[in-house]
Amino acid sequence: MIKIDNVSKMYRLGTIGSGTFKRDLNKWLRACFGKKPDPFAPPEDTNLKKSGGERYLWALRNISFEVKEGEVCGIIGRNGAGKSTLLKVLSRITRPTEGSIKGRGKISSLLEIGTGFHADLSGRENIYISGSMLGMKKAEIKKKFDEIVEFSGIEQFLDTPVKRYSSGMYVRLAFGVAAHLEPDILIVDEVLAVGDAEFQKKCMGKMKDVSQQKGRTILFVSHNLQAINNLCSRAIWLQKGTIHAIGDAQSVVNKYLGAFQKKLWKREWQNPHEAPGNEWLKILSVELIPHLDNPTEPIDIRTPLTVKFRFYNLNDHIHLSTNLVLFSLTGECIFDVPSTSGEFNKGVVEGECTIPGKFLNDGSYYFSLYFLKDASRSIFEYEECLHFDVEDYRENIHWYDKWVGAVRPHFPFTLRNYNVINNGVGVLKPHH
Amino acid sequence: MVEEKLRWQWEINKKTSWLGVSLKELYHYKDLLFRLVRKEFLSSYQQTLLGPFWVLLQPILTVLTSILIFHRVIGVSTQGIPPLLYYLAGICLWNLFSDIFLNTSVTFTQNVQVFNKVYFPRIIVPLSVVLLSALRFVIQLLLFFIASAYYYFAMDVAIPLNTYILAIPVIITVAGIGLGSGMLFSILTAKYRDFMGLTQIILRLLMFICPIFYPMSIVPGKLQWIIHLNPLSIQFELFRFSLLGKGQFTPDQVAYSIAATLVLVIGGLLWFNKTADRLIDVI
């Protein structure tokens, strides 16, 4: 059981040099000789501010929540939302700037697997080293030694230095040690995102086992929302160092997904001077319309999507066409769909394209629109006009790893029994 | 209020204590302490041909070089003691200090990776350094005893056995100076990397203004105060006195050395405890 009470964490930005030395000296002198107010005291109000020539960042701000015994609590949020800082504060690696954390029970944190591993030493030695760093007693490790070895499947290599291990073996051994920790409170950072698919499944299974053991409290950070949904009873959504939402896992995850998707689903310009465009055309609006029954639900791989856009054509008698191009967030082109083309006069032109459901893979994507004259010359490129995420959806599939592939289409694909019958002429016939 | 206190077993807040974690908590981590000693010992001899023999080989080679340079070439007096024993005593004790000092001073800079990912009382690391250095020292001291036995029985060199006991407080004091100053430097190097280069220079300086390779008696009277500024100096004289029967010291010099040790150890320990948990933000 843990109670987090008004925890804040501030980091000083910038490099450490003569400036910080002067500050340290000043602080020290003031502590010794007088009690004048600290001119270098951090600012109270804003998230990021310059004060006395220094910049500060509140990585966490007034975080309060409680995790009950036996609860599995997931923490989600964008990069830089303070998730890792929170875990570090909870696991005593760094002190909070303000507030306190109270708890009951032995706490172990798993922020990295293979903590303390020494490359030159054997697997056997490293099991003991990593185990004792994670807070296990020698006797405990001894008791679990065979289990750990079996879990990681490295019997043959126990006495080989771990630097000669394949990366898979290394990860398996490291996780094997971690998985056999038995604290009352376990703090886990995104450590499951390693190893091959089979091993990830094993890890998730182990996590599930651990979480179902009685009285075990777990705090779990992950980007894998599927895993959060699966393992956690409650979730916390951190944003810019504060709690944005807290509650049961499913609803927080849905809120989280919803919030980020809506933001760039629609763009509209009232004032043509501010609108993107050039002497050929001005964009009026772009919109992504998902075909959802319930508008609060996130887009998942089943959702058909319609892209609608309008622009003002500034020239008469012009032959125009448009390409709608989808990119993954990493910049790989998924597809490039050309529109019909035609002759247009001055005025508003509207385009619409629908991408069927069960076609895109899960992931983050953006659209770009390319406008062409005479089907050959590019006259305007509107890059990254819409951003959206496609969530995963799986039914009856016990596979938690990322589904590979640029797209994930649902082609008809069947398996059936096939009986070979020799009818005398050497023809094979399917049996019905 | 009482109930509230009973409900919680621990609390983390911004306050760090001068005294650090309780002995009870420290005891809880004793397995880790011994594991770290073992890890360091094993890892320092991985992929070497001679392995742990280096513990002995290192002082032997140093002694041979010192005999060549200081005894043969420069001709420094060894006060009638066989040079091998003379230098070996000094080098063993110096190794104890420099091992502890150097390895403690990198506590934070060498362990950032681990300190960033897992909590345990940070003082465990300096303690493991002390234990490992003490282990090496004991092995090297055995070498010294074997050598003195040889000189005692085969060469008829007089060796005082009744002052051996005096060596124990000397060893503790020297280890204490190493630990205390090492802890101070571990914090300084963590914050300002300038001190990393400085540790090497300080170590060399201390080595020169310390009667390891020469007796105190050959230092000109006017300059002796410089040598005595180094709290280690008198300990080397005492060490040779206890093991070989030759040494020059006065009670106030010994008192100064012990006082300096206490200041370093207590100061280092308090500051280490107070800052250790906060340093991770600046390493």
Name which of A254, A210, A250 is nearest A230 in CA terms: A250
> Are β-strands A107-110 and A185-188 bridged in parallel, bridged antiparallel, or unpaired?
parallel
Q: Give me the DSSP letters along A197-244.
A: HHHHHHHHHHHHHHHHSTT-EEEEE-S-HHHHHHH-SEEEEEETTEEE
- Looking at the partner chain, which of A94, A98, A136 has a beta carbon nearest the beta carbon of B280? A94
Question: For residue A42, what is the DSSP state?
Answer: P
- Looking at the partner chain, which of A11, A16, A91 has a beta carbon nearest the beta carbon of B119? A91
- Looking at the partner chain, which of A98, A103, A115 has a beta carbon nearest the beta carbon of B14? A98
Contacts of A24 in chain B (CB under 8 A): 191
Q: Is B222 on the interface with A (CB under 8 A)?
A: no
Q: Rounded CA gap, A128 and A365, in Å? A: 45
Q: For A198-207, B70-79, B270-279, which range has the lowest pLDDT when averaged over its residues?
A: A198-207
Kindly report the nearest CA distance between residue A15 and chain B, in angstroms. 9
**Inter-chain contacts counted by CB atoms under 8 A, chains A and B:** 104
Across the interface, do B43 and A109 touch by the CB < 8 Å criterion? no
Q: Rounded CA gap, B139 and A79, in Å? A: 52
The answer on pLDDT for B236 being more than 80 is: yes
Contacts of A178 in chain B (CB under 8 A): none
Give the three-state DSSP class for A283: strand
* pLDDT band for position A169 (cuts 50, 70, 90): confident
Q: Rounded CA gap, A156 and A123, in Å? A: 10
Contact A65, A243 (CB under 8 A): yes
* pLDDT band for position A205 (cuts 50, 70, 90): confident
> Are β-strands A2-12 and A363-373 bridged in parallel, bridged antiparallel, or unpaired?
unpaired
User: Which amino acid type is present at position A142?
Assistant: K
- Which are the contacts of A236, defined by CB distance < 8 A and separation ≥ 6? A65, A73, A74, A75, A76, A243, A245, A246, A252
Contact A96, B14 (CB under 8 A): yes
The answer on pLDDT for A305 being more than 90 is: yes
Name which of A46, A44, A19, A171 is nearest A97 in CA terms: A44
Whole-number pLDDT of residue B88: 93
Kindly report the nearest CA distance between residue B194 and chain A, in angstroms. 10
Residue to test with chain A: of B3, B12, B48, B128, most A Cβ within 10 A: B12
Q: A375-388: per-residue pLDDT in tens?
A: 888 899 888 888 88
Q: Is A50 on the interface with B (CB under 8 A)?
A: no
* Cα dihedral sign, B264-B265-B270-B272: positive
Whole-number pLDDT of residue A193: 60
Kindly report the nearest CA distance between residue B7 and chain A, in angstroms. 7
Residue to test with chain A: of B7, B15, B39, most A Cβ within 10 A: B39
Q: B74-102: per-residue pLDDT in tens?
A: 888 888 888 889 999 999 999 999 999 99
Q: Is B112 on the interface with A (CB under 8 A)?
A: no
Instruction: Give the domain A69-253 fold.
Output: Rossmann fold (3.40.50)
Q: ipTM of this model?
A: 0.87
Across the interface, do B35 and A93 touch by the CB < 8 Å criterion? no
Q: A105-156: per-residue pLDDT in tens?
A: 888 888 887 888 888 899 999 999 999 998 889 999 999 999 999 988 888 9
* pLDDT band for position A15 (cuts 50, 70, 90): low
Whole-number pLDDT of residue A64: 92
Whole-number pLDDT of residue B168: 93
Across the interface, do B46 and A94 touch by the CB < 8 Å criterion? no
Q: Rounded CA gap, B95 and B134, in Å? A: 10
Question: For residue A299, what is the DSSP state?
Answer: P
Q: Is B6 on the interface with A (CB under 8 A)?
A: no
Across the interface, do A16 and B191 touch by the CB < 8 Å criterion? yes
Q: Is B43 on the interface with A (CB under 8 A)?
A: yes
Select the more confidently predicted residue: A268 or A14. Answer: A268
Whole-number pLDDT of residue A186: 87
Domain(s) labelled CATH 2.70.50.60 in chain A stretch across: 266-390
Sheet holding A72-76, edge to edge: A107-110, A185-188, A217-221, A72-76, A234-239, A242-248
Contact A396, A367 (CB under 8 A): no
CA A356 distance to own-chain centroid: 26
Whole-number pLDDT of residue B90: 93
Whole-number pLDDT of residue A47: 45
Q: Is A125 on the interface with B (CB under 8 A)?
A: yes
Give the three-state DSSP class for A36: coil
- Which two structure tokens, joined as six digits, stand for A163? 């630097």
Q: Rounded CA gap, A97 and A94, in Å? A: 9
Give the three-state DSSP class for A138: helix
Q: CA end-to-end span of chain A, whole Å?
A: 60
Select the more confidently predicted residue: B21 or A150. Answer: A150
B219 to A94, A371, B90, B195, B209: CA distances (angstroms): 50, 90, 17, 30, 10
Give the three-state DSSP class for A110: strand
Whole-number pLDDT of residue A398: 67
Q: pTM for the complete prediction?
A: 0.74
Whole-number pLDDT of residue A33: 66
The whole-chain average pLDDT of chain A stands at: 82
Kindly report the nearest CA distance between residue B9 and chain A, in angstroms. 5
Q: Is B271 on the interface with A (CB under 8 A)?
A: no
Q: What is the largest CA-CA distance in chain A?
A: 109
Nearest CA in chain B to A91: B119
- Looking at the partner chain, which of B116, B120, B282 has a beta carbon nearest the beta carbon of A133? B120
Q: Is B267 exposed, middle or buried (0-12, 13-18, 19+ CB in 10 A)?
A: middle
* A337 strand-pairing partners: A324
Kindly report the nearest CA distance between residue B123 and chain A, in angstroms. 14
User: Best-predicted range by mean pLDDT among A68-72, B13-17, B95-99?
Assistant: B95-99
Q: Is B21 on the interface with A (CB under 8 A)?
A: no
Q: Is B86 exposed, middle or buried (0-12, 13-18, 19+ CB in 10 A)?
A: buried
Nearest CA in chain B to A17: B192
Across the interface, do B118 and A91 touch by the CB < 8 Å criterion? yes
Q: Is B24 on the interface with A (CB under 8 A)?
A: no
Q: Is B3 on the interface with A (CB under 8 A)?
A: no
The total of other beta-carbon atoms located within 10 Å of residue A381's CB is 13
Contact B229, B208 (CB under 8 A): no
Whole-number pLDDT of residue A194: 62
Q: Is A101 on the interface with B (CB under 8 A)?
A: yes
CATH number of A266-390: 2.70.50.60
Q: A218-251: per-residue pLDDT in tens?
A: 888 887 777 788 788 899 999 888 999 999 888 8
Q: What angle do CA A204, A239, A223 make, to 5 degrees?
A: 20
- Phi-psi region for residue A199, left (φ > 0), alpha (ψ -120 to 50) or beta? alpha
Q: Is A28 on the interface with B (CB under 8 A)?
A: no
Across the interface, do B8 and A138 touch by the CB < 8 Å criterion? no
- Phi-psi region for residue A374, left (φ > 0), alpha (ψ -120 to 50) or beta? left
* A281 strand-pairing partners: A313
Contacts of B46 in chain A (CB under 8 A): 120-121, 161
The whole-chain average pLDDT of chain B stands at: 88
* pLDDT band for position A206 (cuts 50, 70, 90): confident
Q: A260-300: per-residue pLDDT in tens?
A: 655 577 888 887 777 888 889 999 999 999 998 887 788 88
Q: Is B153 on the interface with A (CB under 8 A)?
A: no
Nearest CA in chain B to A187: B118
Whole-number pLDDT of residue A51: 46
Across the interface, do B31 and A96 touch by the CB < 8 Å criterion? no
Nearest CA in chain B to A139: B31
Q: Is A138 on the interface with B (CB under 8 A)?
A: yes
Across the interface, do A120 and B278 touch by the CB < 8 Å criterion? no
* pLDDT band for position A359 (cuts 50, 70, 90): very high
Whole-number pLDDT of residue B186: 93
Q: For A186-190, B4-8, B163-167, which range has the lowest pLDDT when averaged over its residues?
A: B4-8
* pLDDT band for position A77 (cuts 50, 70, 90): confident
Domain(s) labelled CATH 3.40.50.300 in chain A stretch across: 69-253
The answer on pLDDT for A50 being more than 50 is: no
Kindly report the nearest CA distance between residue B116 and chain A, in angstroms. 6
The answer on pLDDT for B176 being more than 60 is: yes
- Looking at the partner chain, which of A93, A101, A111 has a beta carbon nearest the beta carbon of B280? A93
- Which are the contacts of A162, defined by CB distance < 8 A and separation ≥ 6? A117, A118, A119, A121, A122, A123, A126, A170, A173
Q: Rounded CA gap, B144 and B240, in Å? A: 12
- Which are the contacts of A384, defined by CB distance < 8 A and separation ≥ 6? A327, A366, A367, A368
Across the interface, do B280 and A128 touch by the CB < 8 Å criterion? no
Q: Rounded CA gap, A203 and A179, in Å? A: 8
Task: State mean pLDDT over B176-205.
Answer: 91
- Looking at the partner chain, which of A88, A99, A121 has a beta carbon nearest the beta carbon of B39? A121
Q: Is B168 on the interface with A (CB under 8 A)?
A: no
Q: B92-141: per-residue pLDDT in tens?
A: 999 999 999 999 999 999 998 889 889 999 999 999 999 999 999 999 99
Q: A306-348: per-residue pLDDT in tens?
A: 999 999 999 999 999 999 999 887 678 899 999 999 999 999 9
Phi/psi of residue B45, each to 5°? -115, 15
Rg of the Cα trace of chain A? 28
- Which two structure tokens, joined as six digits, stand for B141? 């001291």
> In this prediction, what percent of chain A has a pLDDT beyond 90?
27
The answer on pLDDT for B34 being more than 60 is: yes
Whole-number pLDDT of residue A24: 73
